[in-house]
Chain A
Amino acid sequence: MVEQLPFWGGLVLPVVLVSLVAAAAAWDSALASRASGGPASALVAPFHAVAGLLVQQRRRTLAADLLLWRGGALALVGAGVLASLVTPLGRWVVADFSIGIVWFNAMEVVAWAAVWLVGWGANSAYGLIGGYRFVALGLAYELPHMFALITTALGAESLRVGDVVAAQDAVWFVVWMPVAFVVYLLSVLAMAFWGPFGQAVAADLAGGAAAELSGVDRLLFEAGRWLLLVSGAAFAVPLFLGGGSGPLLPDWLWSLLKTLAVLASLVWVRRWVPTVRMERYQEIAWIVLIPLTLLQALVVALVVLAR
C-alpha cells in the first residue's frame, strides 16, 4: 500500500531525482564514449559540463524577452520535479492525490509551454523554429499518451496512483496492456525531446530551441529535460511494472531498480534509433497509435466489465 510522507518528503524528492539524473547522464556519456572509442573517463564528463556551465557567462541576444525566456527554462525544471510528486518509491509517496494520474499529465504538459517559451524568448529564428517543432511533436504524441495513461486508470478503476499499484498485485499491467506500455515509453521519449524525437533541439537548427542558451540558462534547460525523462521513466514503474512489488528485496529498492532499468533502456534507445521527423511521426501517431491505444483501452474495459 502507498502512504504519504510528511512535509520533508518534498525536500527529499529533488535530491532523489537529481541523483537519478546524474546516474542517467553518466550512463549516456559512457555509451557515447564507447560508441566513438573515447576514453573510459567519460563517466565524469557530465559533471565537468555542469561545472563549466555554472561558471560560463550568460550570453544575451538582441531584444530577447528575458522574462519568458528564463521563465521557460525554470518551468521545465519545475514540471520535471512536480510531475514526480505522485510517483511512489516503494510504499512512500510525496503526495497521494486522488487524481494522481491527471496531475502527472498536467505537469508533463507544462513542457509544451516551456520549450516553446525558451525557443521564442531568445528572439532567434533557429530557436523559434525549434519551439514550433516541439509544439508539432506535442500534437502528435499527447493523445496516444493520454489514452495510455487512461488505460491504466481504467484497469485499476481509479485515478489514484496507489490504487493502480494495488491493482497489480496479481498481474502487472504491462502483461495485459503491452500496447499502452510501449506507447507510454514512446511518449516519454517525445516529452523529453530525446533521441528519435530530438527534432526540437536538433543539430540541423544549430541546437533549435536551445540554440541561444548559455551558462546557467542552458544548465536549467538541460536539467529540466533530463528531469522530465527521469520522471517519465519512474512513473512507468507504478503504472505498468507493479510498483515496488518483487521477491526478497525491500519494496523501495525494487522501485529504484525498475526505474533504473527503464531509464537505462530509454537512454540506450537514443543511440539505437535515428531521428524521426515530426510530420512523419504525426501520421504514425494519428493513423496507427491512436486506434491501437483505443483498442487497448477497449480490451481493458471489457476485461474490467467481465470480472
Chain B
Amino acid sequence: MWAQIAFWVCAVGSVVTGVAVFRVDSMARATFALLASFVFAAGTVLLLNLAYLGILVVLMMIMEMVVMVVFMIMYMMNPAGLMPMTMVHNQKGSLAIAGGVFAALVAGIFLIPWPTSGDPRPADPTRALGEALMGSKMLVMMVLGLCLFATMVATVVLATHRGRYDRYGDRLDAKHPDDPVRGGLNR
C-alpha cells in the first residue's frame, strides 16, 4: 500500500513540477522546478529497488541543474534571471509537437505487446539491469562513450576563442601562457 501511495505522490509531483517549469516567470524557478520533477522521477526508480540508479539520478540532476545556472547568466535574455521571463515560445508549433509526441507514446503503451515474465524479481535488480544493458552490448556502449567524449572535446575546441597560438605565441615558444586569468600552478 505504501509503495502505491509513494508511486502516486512521485508521479503526480513529477508532472506538476514539470508543468510548473513552463508556468513560472523566472529562469531560476524554472530550473529548480525541473530539478524537483527529476527528483520525483528518481523516486519512482527507487520504488523499483534500483537504489543505485535512483540516487545517481538525484546526484547527477542536481549537478546538471547547477551547471545550467552557469549558462543561465551567459545566454538568457534576462541577465542573472532577475527579471520576469517566460519559458513558452512558438506556442502553436510546440503545442503541436508536444501533442504529437504524447499521442505517439500513449499509442505505444497500448499497441506494443510488452513481454511478461513469470521469473521472480532478481536479488540485485541494478546488477541485472546492468548486465542486460551492457552484457551483450558492451561494444556499442564503448563506441558510444568514445563518440560522446570526442564530441565534447570537439565542441570545446570549436567554441574556445583562444587557442594554443594565442596562449603560447605564434611559434608556440612562450615559456608561460598568456592567459587573462592565471591558474594556480604558475605555469
Contacts and interface: CB of A to CB of B under 8 A. Distances in A.
A282 B184 contact: yes
B80 interface: yes
A279 interface: yes
Interface stretch (A25-33, A110-118, A162-170, A208-216): A110-118
A279 B184 contact: yes
B11 interface: no
Task: Count chain B CB atoms within 10 A of each CB in A63, A103, A106 and give the residue with the most.
Answer: A106
A121 B183 CA distance: 30
Interface stretch (A94-102, A197-205, A257-265): A94-102
A159 interface: yes
Contacts of A132: 70, 73
Interface residues of B, number: 28
Contact of A112 (B28, B56, B62): B62
A102 B56 contact: yes
B66 A287 contact: no
B73 A97 contact: no
A102 B52 contact: yes
Given A68-B29, A120-B80, A106 B55 contact: yes
B65 A113 contact: yes
B80 A138 contact: no
27 contacts: A63-B82, A65-B26, A68-B29, A68-B32, A97-B51, A99-B51, A102-B56, A106-B55, A106-B58, A106-B59, A112-B66, A113-B62, A116-B66, A116-B69, A117-B28, A120-B80, A120-B81, A121-B28, A142-B63, A276-B184, A277-B184, A279-B182, A282-B183, A283-B183, A283-B184, A283-B187, A284-B185
Given A65-B26, A68-B32, A106-B59, 4 more contacts: A112-B62, A135-B70, A284-B184, A287-B185
